[in-house]
Amino acid sequence: MTAPRMLHPGAWWLWAVALAACALRTTNPVLLSLIIAVAGWVVVSRRTDVPWSRSFASFLRLGLIVVVFRVVFQILFGVRVPGTTLFSIPEVTLPSWAAGVSLGGPVTLESLMAALYQGLRLATVLACFGAATSLCSPYRMLRALPTVLYEAGVAVTVAFTFAPQAIVASRQVREARRLRGRSDRGLRAWSASALPVLEGALDRAVALAASMDSRGYGRRGGASVSQRRRSVGLVLLGLVALTIGSYGLLDPAAPAAFRLPALAVGVIALVGSLVAGGRSAERTRYRPDPWVKPEWIVSVAGIVAFASFVFADRMGDALNPSTNPLEVPAVPVVAVLGLLIATLPAWFAPPPPTLAAVSTSMAVAA
């Protein structure tokens, strides 16, 4: 076991993105549940003690809401593929211009299971994302961003913190309603608390911006205006080209020029902007996180899990069990082994420095 330190945020995010990519490849509920369990296990073993580390539970709850919504949508609006009917809800015939949508009708077991699988897949992706934010808070990720992307990253991070703060603020405002003699439950309480919460969020954002500005955020440093414009322009060009390229890959009807050439242009532009931006060296980093063996182990564990899923996909159909007709999902051993390898970070990543670790080390030194 290595000495306590914080892992490079890129390693955690790479691992989490690999798990999310695995989840996107499958609708097998057994594998998806295993992915969630793996993510939860690693989070509980290696999370830090900042407030962001408790976010995993919130993401799990959000995933549950997603699954419920998906199933309810299927019951109300889903395509009425014939199957074993469980129950029926009254059907509403829609005018011919809405012919593609069905409202009501018999609800079949197969369609419910299909909705459950798809909702579970989304919930798993959310859980992977929640694991990433739990293991390294967005602020740490921000510090690891290259200089050119830094300012965009700050906007994203501040937007990130809106949700948890809004939840806390809305609870305070609803309690305050009780102090004024109005009930703090019910729809009226929630809707009336929206405006004060938003005003409070705006005040906080302005205070944060003033504090950051007073400490030199956004300094031009040595770069001239034209240099900055050039690097920002390259970043924008790269992102647009990447978007076009990924769309082209997904849509078979797109002309060939919109696929790999667009992707290549995007990657070259982004790399160029990083190189150009890096040369002016506007920001330095205090104690940058090293990328050594534990980081490699964590990233490779995630990549191995993803590779095992690709392999299992080639080998058969088990990653997408059929729901019409309904069958018992098969469990591909390769994928399970890959996911077990993805739990390695729980042992091989260094434990984060917690209060207990610090105080014992100081007691030993004293």
Partner 1 sequence: MIRFEHVTITYPDATAPTLVDVSFEVPEGELCLVVGVTGSGKSTLLRAVNGLVPRFSGGVLAGSVVINGKSTADLPPRDLADVVGVVGQDPAAGFVTDYVEDELAYAMENLGVAPEVMRRRVEDILDLLGLHEIRHRPLASLSGGQQQRVAIGSVLTAGPRVLVLDEPTSALDPAAAEEVLAALTRLVHDLGITVLIAEHRLERVVQYADRIVMVPGDGRPVVVGTPAEVFGQSSVAPPVVELGRLAGWSPLPLSVRDARRLAGPLRERLAEVELSAFRRTSRVVGDVVAITDGLQASYGPITALRGIELQFRAGEVVALMGRNGAGKSTLLNHLVGLREPASGTVRVMGAEPHRLSAHDVVRVAGLVPQDSGVLLYHDTVAAECSASDRDAGLDSGTTRSVLDQIVPDVNPTAHPRDLSEGQRLGLALSIVLASEPPLLLLDEPTRGLDYGAKQRLVELLSRLADEGHAVVIATHDVEVVAAVADRCVVLAEGEVVSDGPARDVVIHSPVFAPQVAKVLAPLPLLTVHEVELALAAVGDLPFS
Partner 2 sequence: MGVIALAGLIVTTSGRAEASSCSGPLSGGEIRVVVVVDSSDLGGGASATCLVVPAGTTGSQLLARRSAELGTGSVRYGSSGLLCAIDGLPAAGCGDHNAGGFDYWGYFIGRSGSWVFGNINPFTRRLSDGDIEGWRYVRGGTGSAQDPAPRIVPSQSLFPSLRPGEPAFVEQPAAASGTVPSLSSSMTIDVSPEQTFDSLDVASIATTTLEPIAVEGVALASSRTSDSNLGRWFAIAAVFVLIAMMTGGAWIQTRRSQ
Rule CB under 8 A: choose which of 37, 51, 101, 163 binds partner 1: 51
Q: Binding mask 284-323 vs partner 1 (x if CB under 8 A, - otherwise)?
A: xxxxx-----------------------------------
Q: Residue 211's binding partner, choosing from partner 1, partner 2, none, with beta-carbon cut-off 5 to 8 A by kind?
A: partner 1
Written as six digits, the tokens of 296 are 């490699």
Q: According to the binding rule CB under 8 A, does residue 212 interact with partner 1?
A: yes
Written as six digits, the tokens of 193 are 């608390």
Q: Binding mask 96-135 vs partner 2 (x if CB under 8 A, - otherwise)?
A: x--xxxx--x---x----x--xx-----------------
Written as six digits, the tokens of 152 are 């965009």
Q: Residue 171's binding partner, choosing from partner 2, partner 1, none, with beta-carbon cut-off 5 to 8 A by kind?
A: none
User: Three-state SS across the chain?
Assistant: CCCCCCCCHHHHHHHHHHHHHHHHHCCCHHHHHHHHHHHHHHHHHHCCCCHHHHHHHHHHHHHHHHHHHHHHHHHHHCCCCCCCEEEEEEEECCCHHHCCCCEEEEEEHHHHHHHHHHHHHHHHHHHHHHHHHHHCCHHHHHHHCCHHHHHHHHHHHHHHCHHHHHHHHHHHHHHHHHHCCCCCCHHHHHHHCHHHHHHHHHHHHHHHHHHHHHCCCCCCCCCCHHHHHHHHHHHHHHHHHHHHHHHHHHCCCCCHHHCHHHHHHHHHHHHHHHHHHHHHCCCCCCCCCCCCHHHHHHHHHHHHHHHHHHHHHHHCCCCCCCECCECCCCCCHHHHHHHHHCCCHHHHCCCCCCHHHHHHHHHHHC
Rule CB under 8 A: choose which of 93, 180, 187, 364 binds partner 1: 180
Q: According to the binding rule CB under 8 A, does residue 320 interact with partner 2?
A: yes
Which span sits near partner 1 by CB under 8 A: 132-140, 259-267, 291-299, 336-344? Answer: 132-140
Q: According to the binding rule CB under 8 A, does residue 186 interact with partner 1?
A: no
Which span sits near partner 2 by CB under 8 A: 40-48, 122-130, 179-187, 206-214? Answer: 40-48
How far apart are alpha carbons 140 and 133 in whole angstroms?
10
Rule CB under 8 A: choose which of 77, 81, 92, 213 binds partner 1: 213
Q: According to the binding rule CB under 8 A, does residue 30 interact with partner 2?
A: yes
The dihedral sign for the CA sequence 152, 282, 273, 302: negative
The total of other beta-carbon atoms located within 10 Å of residue 320's CB is: 14
Q: Residue 93's binding partner, choosing from partner 2, partner 1, none, with beta-carbon cut-off 5 to 8 A by kind?
A: partner 2
Smallest gap, in angstroms, from Cβ of residue 21 to partner 1?
28
Which span sits near partner 1 by CB under 8 A: 203-211, 251-259, 294-302, 327-335? Answer: 203-211
Rule CB under 8 A: choose which of 178, 229, 279, 293 binds partner 1: 178
Binders of partner 1: how many residues, by CB under 8 A?
56
> Is the CB of 92 or the CB of 210 nearer to partner 2?
92
Rule CB under 8 A: choose which of 89, 210, 236, 356 binds partner 1: 210
| Positions in the binding site for partner 1 (CB under 8 A) | 48-52, 137, 139-140, 143, 172-173, 175-184, 192-193, 195-196, 199-200, 203-204, 206-219, 221-222, 281-288, 353, 355, 358
| Positions in the binding site for partner 2 (CB under 8 A) | 27, 30, 33-34, 37-38, 40-41, 43-45, 78-84, 91, 93-94, 96, 99-102, 105, 109, 114, 117-118, 252-253, 320, 323-331, 333, 336, 340, 343
